[in-house]
Amino acid sequence: MSLFEELRRRNVFRVGIAYAVAAWLVLQIADVLIDNIGAPDWVFPTLLMVLGLGFPLALIFAWAFELTPEGIKRESEVDRSESVTRKTGQKLNIAVMVMLALIAGYFIWESRFKAPASDEAKPATQVAAGPDTPVAPGAATEPPGPAIDQNAIAVLPFANRSNIEEDLFFTDGIHDDLLTQLAKIGELKVISRTSVMEYRDTTKKIPEIAAELGVGKILEGGVQRAGDRVRINAQLIDVNTDQHLWAETFNREMTIDNIFDIQSEITTQIVTAVKGELSDAERATLTNRPTDNLDAWEAFLHARAIVGETDYGADKYQRAEPFALESVRLDPQFAEAWAQLAGIQMQGIWIGYANTEAQREAARRSLSRAESLDPDNPEVIAARADYHYRIEVDYEAALARVEKALELAPGDAKMHRDRGLSLRRLGRWEESVAAFERSLALDPLNGFVAATQVETLVMMNAWERVEPLTDFWLRRSPDSTDLLSYKAQAMINDRGATDEAWNLLEAANVEGRGRGAGAQIELAMMRRDWDRAIELIEVPGDIGAPIELFHRTRERSLAMVHALKGDEETARGYLEEHFRTLRSAEPVGRLAEGLLNISLAEAFAWVGDGDRAVEYANLAAEQVPLEVDHVFGQQVHNLRIWVLAKAGQRDIALELIDAKLDQPEGLNRWTLHLDPTWDFFRDDPRFNELVRPEGVEPEPFRRLGDGT
């Protein structure tokens, strides 16, 4: 008998095939389990080595031994006439067939349930216009559709394999740095942090995520710290084929150089897979090291994680500042940390919790330090743009600097958002809307940017475009009080649907919750439901926009409602308290002074001091000219019209109303028709005829304090 026939008789081939199939199954199961239980790095390589060594041993065992009814015997001890190798071979055949069936079932399941989403799954809101396409005036605006872009990539939040809560910021920091590096690469669309963070710990499958984000490639991975070692694994997946374009596990000593080397390697592999080779300039960008101090970098990551929290307000910047200060203390040469610190300090001035000259000087020093260290860094350039915007109130300069930063980081969604903010301050409304669309194309689930875009359309009086957008975004963020307030405003200002708007806000329970609460209070006043308005004002919580510059105190709101109700004595008491708050303010800069003065003008008008009201309103209009600031400027100038009318300068007020009625940045016809703060003017037929909406019949004059 030949050697081949003897190998076949002893089932050596069958044992080899069965062993290989079983080993493959074991490795697939181990690959999933090891990543999910956070097993040490040596487990998988050790298992692979053991299975590899076991293969020749299994073949030797099959040659030298035979499984008999009496147990395992040496092959030489078994009588050939009593050998059961044929039956054993049949059992091995069945075992191999079962294992192959399991493998086939796995591949069928994977192809069925992990296949790319079909076109039928795409939202009906998809539009053909690209993210850079300007929106035609008057056109209904929808978010960019989620059609798959093969050059777009989403880097999903990395898993924290350490299972230690304190390491989560470190894991997120690695993730953030990758996004920052990728945003600097031209021709690459990278979904921003806000959108991908929604998929932390998600149970959604890769094709489903890709369909929601409109990407053709997805990177996922995990980070594990153990003592002075770090293990990072990453895999790049092509959504169309569900194939791994690249996968790697890095097991290195925990040093700053190793961390940045790993990030550069991952970024290089992503860019190569998506768009081909890196240019020399892009390769140079990836080799830059922002700091040589690991502790400084970790403090920087702590600050960035806090600043990246969703809600906007003083608290998070106050919590982030100590980490930013620690970062620059540990490494005074860390340019991005100085830029980060400057940004935090500027927020203190803008929001108002630290609007002092000392704070301004601190922000100037931090920014100057960042620029002296790395003037061409896009983050540093963006910080200078922020300084022009928030401190100098120079929006032309801010726009120029943020556009320079975008040349170096064209995929940075936040910079596109900041560009939109500067454009709308300059009154370049349609360009602003397009910039927000570009930001949303890079960060499609960012509700804050979506609300900012809608807010811009509100400022433009583009009500026919507001409601479709709010409907779309409220499906994703049903608790957004900003969006709810904008939808309610659209219902009122587009068609006077006060009851419909009231039902919307009541059902959403917006009491005491930011802009939604403010919109509900204004709507209760439009309905002349004074008691309900007072009740809503007295609910604890925020009752307006988060910016503190407009001095919208509760006392002001209560005074206004009581005055409209006809209770002049109670109204005056609240106004005196409101005056005390205004006079205790210490504004720094022309913008802050102008906003304080228009608030004083309004208060003087309510107490009947028309001369002082007009004086302060005119001063505010000079300090915040419309041509310099089309956002705060329109609010100041529109309120000035009310002050002039309330102070008795009706002819001038009527001319201004006529010029600005239903214009971008102007006054809305339905608001003037319904707002009770204009009731003092309703004894003038000229006013009533001017502001009466189309299709509304003239109404009898309703005196101050009349109910409905």
Q: Would you state the pLDDT for residue 540?
A: 86
Q: Would you state the pLDDT for residue 71?
A: 64
Q: How far apart are CA 89 and CA 575, in angstroms?
A: 97
Classified as helix, coil or strand, 552 is coil
H runs (alpha helix) in 139-199: 168-182, 193-196
Q: Would you state the pLDDT for residue 138?
A: 40
Q: Which of 166-170, 200-204, 240-244, 432-436 has the highest mean pLDDT?
A: 432-436
pLDDT (average), residues 289-294: 89
pLDDT exceeds 50 at position 123: no
Which residues, other chains included, contact 256 with Cβ-Cβ below 8 Å and sequence gap of 6+? Answer: 289, 291, 292, 293, 294, 297
Look-up: residue for tokens 């040349």?
407
Please compute, for residue 521, the number of CA atoms within 13 A of its CA located in the half-sphere on the CB side: 25
Positive or negative, the CA dihedral 186, 189, 192, 197 is: negative
Which residue did the predictor score with more confidence, 295 or 263? Answer: 295
Q: Residue 273 has which token pair? A: 């897979």
Q: How confident is the model at residue 202 (pLDDT cuts 50, 70, 90)?
A: confident
Q: Would you state the pLDDT for residue 494?
A: 93
Which residue did the predictor score with more confidence, 89 or 16? Answer: 16
pLDDT exceeds 80 at position 470: yes
pLDDT (average), residues 265-294: 79
Which residue in 697, 686, 690, 684 sits closest to 667, CA to CA?
690
Q: Would you state the pLDDT for residue 39?
A: 59
Lowest-confidence range among 311-325, 328-342, 526-540?
A: 311-325
How is residue 124 annotated by DSSP? T
Which residue in 479, 535, 528 sits closest to 508, CA to CA?
479
Neighbours of 509 (CB within 10 A): 12
DSSP 485-508: HHHHHHHHHHH--HHHHHHHHHHH
pLDDT (average), residues 447-462: 91
pLDDT exceeds 70 at position 107: no
pLDDT exceeds 50 at position 115: no
Residues of the chain with pLDDT > 90: what percent? 45
Q: Would you state the pLDDT for residue 131?
A: 35
Q: Residue 222 has which token pair? A: 């995990």
pLDDT exceeds 80 at position 125: no
Q: How big is the CA angle at 130 (ends 442 and 114), to the nearest 5 degrees?
A: 60
Q: How confident is the model at residue 21 (pLDDT cuts 50, 70, 90)?
A: confident
Q: How confident is the model at residue 120 (pLDDT cuts 50, 70, 90)?
A: very low
Contact between 518 and 553 (Cβ < 8 Å): no
Neighbours of 212 (CB within 10 A): 22
Q: Would you state the pLDDT for residue 174?
A: 83
Phi, psi of 334 (to 5 degrees): -90, 95
Helices and strands (DSSP H and E) totals, the chain: 31, 8
Q: Would you state the pLDDT for residue 79?
A: 61
Which residues, other chains included, contact 582 with Cβ-Cβ below 8 Å and sequence gap of 6+? Answer: 551, 596, 599, 600, 603
Contact between 148 and 116 (Cβ < 8 Å): yes
Look-up: residue for tokens 């006809």?
566
Q: Would you state the pLDDT for residue 94?
A: 80
Q: Would you state the pLDDT for residue 293?
A: 93
Q: How confident is the model at residue 231 (pLDDT cuts 50, 70, 90)?
A: confident
229-238 and 71-74 as β-strands: parallel, antiparallel, unpaired? unpaired
Strands (E), 318-460: none
Q: Residue 416 has which token pair? A: 């596109």
Q: Would you state the pLDDT for residue 168?
A: 78
pLDDT (average), residues 223-236: 86
Q: Would you state the pLDDT for residue 45?
A: 73
pLDDT (average), residues 661-688: 94
149-155 and 215-226 as β-strands: parallel, antiparallel, unpaired? parallel
pLDDT exceeds 80 at position 354: yes
* Mean pLDDT score across all residues of the chain: 84
Query: Per-residue pLDDT tens for 385-396?
Result: 999 999 999 999
pTM for the structure as a whole: 0.71
Lowest-confidence range among 26-40, 200-214, 653-667?
A: 26-40
Classified as helix, coil or strand, 332 is coil
Q: How far apart are CA 162 and CA 397, in angstroms?
A: 45
Which residue in 365, 332, 359 sits closest to 346, CA to CA?
359
The amino acid at 4: F
Contact between 74 and 63 (Cβ < 8 Å): no
pLDDT exceeds 70 at position 249: yes
pLDDT (average), residues 311-338: 92
Helix (H) / strand (E) containing 670 = helix 669-674
Q: Would you state the pLDDT for residue 122?
A: 34
Classified as helix, coil or strand, 550 is helix
Phi, psi of 196 (to 5 degrees): -75, -25
Q: Residue 697 has which token pair? A: 């019949």
The amino acid at 405: A
Q: How far apart are CA 358 and CA 87, in angstroms?
A: 91
pLDDT exceeds 60 at position 345: yes
Query: Per-residue pLDDT tens for 252-267?
Result: 888 888 888 888 888 8
Lowest-confidence range among 269-278, 355-364, 368-377, 539-548?
A: 539-548
pLDDT exceeds 70 at position 70: no
How is residue 681 annotated by DSSP? G
Q: How confident is the model at residue 544 (pLDDT cuts 50, 70, 90)?
A: low
Which residues, other chains included, contact 416 with Cβ-Cβ below 8 Å and sequence gap of 6+? Answer: 406, 435, 436, 438, 439, 442
